[in-house]
Structure formats: C-alpha cells, structure tokens
A and B are shown apart, each in its own frame.
Chain A
Amino acid sequence: MIEVTNLNKSFGDAHILKGVSAVFEKGKVNMVIGQSGSGKTVFLKCMLGLHTPEIGDISFDGRVYSQLNIDQKRLLRTEIGMLFQGGALFDSLTVEENIMFPLKMFANQNKKEMLHRVNFVLERVNLPGLNKKFPAQLSGGMQKRVAIARAIVMNPKYLFCDEPNSGLDPQTATVIDNLIQEITAEYNIVTVVNSHDMNSVMEIGEKIVFLKDGEKAWEGSNKDIFITDNEVVVNFVYSSNLFKKVRESYFKESK
C-alpha cells in the first residue's frame, strides 16, 4: 500500500500540489486523473522521489520515504517499476539489453538466468523474439510493451505508469490497459496510473483520484464515476458527447 499524506510542492511562486492525500491499494489499478496542468505528473514524480515535496510524506508499506537513508531509498527504488510516457528505453541498447539492465545492476544472477528472465517477461508482454532489435526499430505500442517488460523484470512491488496510452491508437491502447490490469492482479502489486484517457479510466480504474488545480477534488472507483454528482468531475469526464451518451444510457439501464 502507498499512503500519501498532505503533499505540497511548489516551483518558485507556483504552488503545484496543495495538500494532496491519497491511499493506493495493493492488487488494484489506481488512477490519478485530471486536466493538463492539474499536477498529476508532479504528484507522480514526488511519489517516485524525482521531486522532493516541501511538506507531506509518502509511505511505501509503512516505510516513510523522507525518513529513509540513501541506501534504503536505493533499495526501495529497486522495488519500483516505472513506465514513462515515451517509454524511456535506452536508445543505444537492444531490447534484450534494456530489459536486462536492472537485472545486471541489482540482481545477482548469471547471464543464463538473466536471459531466461528477459525472455519470460518478453513472452508476458507478447513480444517474443524481439531481443536483438533496437527501440528505434519498434512501433510506439511495442516500445511501451518493452518498457512494461523492463518495469516488471525485477518483480516490483509498485508499478507507476505515466500516460501509458498517449500517442497510441485505441486498439493498442486497450492492449496496454489490459496488460497493466493483468500484471497488477497477477503480481498483486500497487499500480498507480497517471492518465487523462477516459477509456482507460472506465476500463481499468479500480480506484480513481481526481486532481484539480493541485488539490484532490474527488476519489472513487470507475463505477462511482458514473453516478457521481460532483460537478467538476462530471464536467471533466463527460466533456465529450460520446461519454455523455454512455452515462445517460447507464442511468436508463439502471432505472
């Protein structure tokens, strides 16, 4: 479980996060949603330790990040898998080397064991046999799947995904969503997904935290989001006609 308490972060005069608190549970896909500029990425980067909040704490299964020493922080980070918006694969390394990289750095395994693990996770993301390709030779969707493979290769306890569907076609986006959901259940990990893709939110958002102007404006599940009367959430989620119709039909069916 990840527990965020009263998180505050500013850059100069801009107060980006204003006392955000949230709990992200194990075995669930937790989503952080909100408009562009609402503070989602800063929130995620604070949880990852890439930004230091001025006030507030982040606790990973009882381990408060700000109270850990450097070695403990490094150890905690080996338990974190991260899927960046653009994949963030290392250009100069092949798919195999990219996925093997965390293993080489932190796992005490021989080459054969590492290769076995790499092939296993590549199978898991449905990309077997791509070992020797370079990231530039892959499509956007494939790069995302390789990035997922790299994120899960160390058996992480916590998986963070920043806009996993950005730049992908709807079909590939669904593949990525399903993969994230399956991996979360299979490995029983805490998954936090940063997104403003409403399809993903409706499909896999088991817990949703809605940020507006750096504050938590709402939280609930993808079922709650259909029935909420929170005006800010409704205006954001149902801004498109398609989703308005989906919501109306949901109400009609439930009556």
Chain B
Amino acid sequence: MNYLEHIGKYFMMLREVFKRPQKWKIFRETLFREIEDLGLKSLGIIMFISFFIGGVVAIQTALNVDSPFIPKYLIGFATKRTMILEFGPTFTSIILAGKVGSYIASSMGTMRVTEQIDALEVMGINSLSYLVLPKLIATLLFYPFLVLIAMLLGIIGGWVAGNLTGLFYTVDYINGIQLDFNPYYIKYALIKTVIFAFVIATIPAYHGYYVKGGSLEVGRASTQAVVWTSVVIILLNYFLTQMLLG
C-alpha cells in the first residue's frame, strides 16, 4: 500500500471517529479511564525527564557561557526559553509518542487480532468512535496540563542544578526567568501541544486498528506507530514554528 492510500485511509478513519458516541454515559466512563491510562500514568515519567533535562540545560548553558562579558541571568533566560518553546511541547510529545503511542497501537492491534473489534462491530457498535474518540479527547484535554507541568519542572530543575553545582546564583536565575517574558510563547506551546496530542492519539490508533495477522504484526504496528508519530510531530513542529513564530 502506498503512502497516499495510507493517508486516505487515515482520513476515512477520522470521519468514523468523529461520529456521535452511541451512549454518552459509556463514553464518559471510557473517557475517564483513558485520561487515567494515557494521561495520569504518564505524569511520573514526564516529571522525571523534564526536571533533569531542565537541570542539564542550565548546567550546559552555564558551562558554555562562562565569560565575564555574558551576564549570568542568561542561564535562567535560556533554560526558560528552551523549556517553554521546545522541550515542553515538542520533546514531551516525542516522549509521549513512544510511551502512549506504543500502548495505543499494541492494545488496539491486540483487540483486532483477538477479534474483539469484530465483536464490537457485530454488536452494532461503531468501533472506531468507541475506541478512538475517548483516547483523542483524553489526550487533547490532558496533554496541555502535562506540558505546563513539564515546563515548570524543567525550570525548577535548572534552579536546583544551579544550587547544587554552584555554577550560578538563585537571584541571577530568577532574573533570567523574568526577563522578556512573553505570554504568547505559552500560547504557542499549547497550540503545538494540542496538535501533537491529536497526532499521538490518532496515528497509533490507525496502525493498531488496521493491523492484520498475529502478535508479530502487532509488534511491528506498534514500532511503526511510534516512528510515524515521531516523524509527523517533528515535521509539524517545523511548519508550526514557521507559522506561529516566523
């Protein structure tokens, strides 16, 4: 199957996904379960990674701008900008593409090969809407919070690293954070996050839903889902950055 066919099939899948849920009560129950599975269960890894990346960015910046002509507050400024503009939305999404993307593709792929999706269809249930829509809404609702937490913890991580290494003072770091703060950058990051959340929920769902074969194919679909989700996020990041900041 060529790329154009895949793209067409993906958009046809989306058309089915956006059909009205058959029972709102069931949809609500599933949505809360997905928020827990796809959102809350990712909180730990995102907090851990963002805290340490923030620390590393601050240390790297401090070591590379070790010149009397460059003010120390630039360390806090660079860490803040890195966390808000790129690490928060893009790299958090790449991490989620790996963690959540493989989960979505493999769980749906397993449902396909064990005929659970057929069972839904035979019952008269729109399986795409039932399975994918709650995942999509869960990621759209929850990932902006996740990204905001990642930004905050990254900045805190930078401050902690500075304190532990003695490379810069708290006062300089806080000055850097406050310097040239543009609220639009937060908006920019959240716009990107919402778009990436859509990609993280739908591309792995596509790979999982249409899998054919057995466990080996489910594994392959899971890998492909992570690869393609990451590729699409990186490409979209480029175009969105041009459009929103250019």
Q: Which residues of A are interface residues toward B (Cβ below 8 A)?
A: 45, 48-50, 73-78, 80, 82, 84-86, 88-91, 101-102, 104-106, 160
Q: Is the CB of A75 within 8 A of B124?
A: yes
Give me 21 A-to-B residue pairs in the complex whose CB atoms sit less than 8 angstroms apart, sorted by A's number: A50-B118, A50-B122, A77-B122, A77-B124, A80-B123, A82-B122, A84-B115, A85-B115, A88-B114, A88-B115, A88-B116, A88-B118, A88-B119, A90-B111, A91-B110, A102-B123, A105-B23, A105-B26, A105-B125, A106-B123, A106-B124
CA distance A84 to B26 in the complex (A): 24
Which chain B residue has the least Cβ–Cβ distance from A150? B119
- B121 touches A (CB below 8 Å): yes
Which chain A residue has the least Cβ–Cβ distance from B121? A50
Which chain B residue has the least Cβ–Cβ distance from A102? B123
A143 to chain B, nearest CB (A): 11
CA distance A86 to B121 in the complex (A): 16
Contact of A86 among B23, B115, B122, B124 (CB under 8 A): B115
Which chain B residue has the least Cβ–Cβ distance from A79? B124
Residue among A74, A78, A88 with max Cβ neighbours from chain B (10 Å):
A88
CA distance A89 to B121 in the complex (A): 13
Which chain A residue has the least Cβ–Cβ distance from B22? A105
CA distance A45 to B131 in the complex (A): 21
A56 to chain B, nearest CB (A): 19
B101-150, CB < 8 A from A: 110-111, 114-116, 118-119, 121-125
Which chain A residue has the least Cβ–Cβ distance from B117? A88
Given contacts A104-B26, A105-B23, A84 and B119 within 8 Å (CB-CB): yes
Given contacts A75-B124, A77-B124, A105-B125, A84 and B23 within 8 Å (CB-CB): no
Q: Enumerate chain B residues within 8 angstroms of A45, measured Cβ to Cβ.
A: 118
CA distance A86 to B116 in the complex (A): 9
Q: Enumerate chain B residues within 8 angstroms of A74, measured Cβ to Cβ.
A: 124
CA distance A82 to B118 in the complex (A): 10
Q: Is the CB of A78 within 8 A of B116?
A: no
CA distance A102 to B123 in the complex (A): 7
B129 to chain A, nearest CB (A): 12
B207-226, CB < 8 A from A: none
Q: Is the CB of B124 within 8 A of A82?
A: no
Contact of B123 among A85, A86, A105, A160 (CB under 8 A): A105
CA distance A222 to B43 in the complex (A): 61
Q: Enumerate chain B residues within 8 angstroms of A48, measured Cβ to Cβ.
A: 122
Which chain B residue has the least Cβ–Cβ distance from A160? B122
Contact of A82 among B25, B111, B119, B125 (CB under 8 A): B119
CA distance A160 to B111 in the complex (A): 20
B232 to chain A, nearest CB (A): 28
A36 to chain B, nearest CB (A): 16
Q: Is the CB of A73 within 8 A of B124?
A: yes
